[in-house]
Amino acid sequence: MSVRRLIVVVLFLIAFPFSLQAAHVPPITIAPDEWSVPAEDTLRHLRDQRVRTTKPSSVFWKSVVDLKQTLLSLPPTARDENIDAEADRLAKTIISTLYQLSQEYRVFVSPRLHNMAIKLGLRKKGYCYHYAHDLRQVLATQPWSFFSFAWVEGNAGTSRESNAIALFRRGQSFETGIVVDPWRTGSKPYWRAVKGDRWPWQEWNGTLAADYDDPKK
């Protein structure tokens, strides 16, 4: 066993007692009736019930509302009830999928340690391109009239390569949108504007192998 591999194993053993609660989010799903009402109404109901903002359900719905508002702020900013409804559905789809992937991947402590756990065979999925692939697969199952999505990659072909999903208004360039990159936060919902991000994002239109256990390169 190499020194590097031995160090990883030691770190894994040290961190193991904390791994179950360290990074991945709790299992939360959207009930059928919650899909039919605006996310703001569900969050308001939780607050009316005096559910603490730190409770998992409040954190979940706050993320949905925040992402929805971010989507509605993307250019062009014209709005109507149909655009609002689609932004609501898109935000719910993104956040609920990220929560599901966190459970599926069994995220370990931090993104980089989780990557090492995959290399050691202790986890099967959780690389950045796994998130991009699985999220794109879910988004592709639904029709989107006002918003678009694209797989983007930064620093392609280097050790610093990263993959994510960009969301933007239909008819606009992906550079006008946001990048959803849950790998950075160990599967917790994370997004920010494409412009100004630390990765030089470029759109990628390829596909992965059926098993995609190895890097797409």
Q: Using one digit for the tens of pLDDT, what is the confidence trace for 138-156?
A: 999 999 999 999 999 999 9
- Kindly give, in sequence order, each residue whose CB lies less than 8 Å from that of residue 128, ignoring residues fewer than 6 positions away: 161, 162, 163, 164, 181, 183
What is the chain's alpha carbon radius of gyration, rounded to the nearest angstrom? 18
**42: in domain:** yes
Q: By CB neighbour count within 10 A (0-12 exposed, 13-18 middle, 19+ buried), where does 17 fall?
A: exposed
**213: in domain:** no
What is the pLDDT, as a whole number, of residue 94?
Answer: 98
Q: Give the domain extent around 156.
A: 3-203
Q: By CB neighbour count within 10 A (0-12 exposed, 13-18 middle, 19+ buried), where does 51 fall?
A: middle
pLDDT tier for residue 216 given thresholds of 50, 70 and 90: very low
- Kindly give, in sequence order, each residue whose CB lies less than 8 Å from that of residue 145, ignoring residues fewer than 6 positions away: 82, 86, 170
Over residues 112-135, the pLDDT tens digits come to 888 888 888 888 999 999 999 999
Report how many domains make up the chain. Answer: 1
Whether residue 41 has pLDDT greater than 50: yes
* 8-22, 98-112, 141-155, range with greatest mean pLDDT: 141-155
Whether residue 55 has pLDDT greater than 70: yes
Ranges assigned E (strand) in 28-161:
147-154
**Backbone phi and psi for residue 124, each to the nearest 5 degrees, phi listed first:** -100, -35
**Residue with more model confidence, 39 or 116:** 39
**216: in domain:** no
Q: Are 164 and 128 in contact (CB under 8 A)?
A: yes
**167: in domain:** yes
What is the pLDDT, as a whole number, of residue 21?
Answer: 38
**38: in domain:** yes
**211: in domain:** no
Whether residue 33 has pLDDT greater than 50: yes
Bin 106: left if φ > 0, else alpha if -120 < ψ < 50, else beta.
left
The whole-angstrom separation of Cα 162 and Cα 153 is 6
pLDDT tier for residue 13 given thresholds of 50, 70 and 90: low
Q: Which two tokens stand for residue 88?
A: 């609501």
pLDDT tier for residue 169 given thresholds of 50, 70 and 90: very high
What is the arithmetic mean of pLDDT over 76-88?
Answer: 95
**214: in domain:** no
Q: By CB neighbour count within 10 A (0-12 exposed, 13-18 middle, 19+ buried), where does 43 fall?
A: buried
**215: in domain:** no
Q: What is the mean pLDDT of the chain?
A: 88
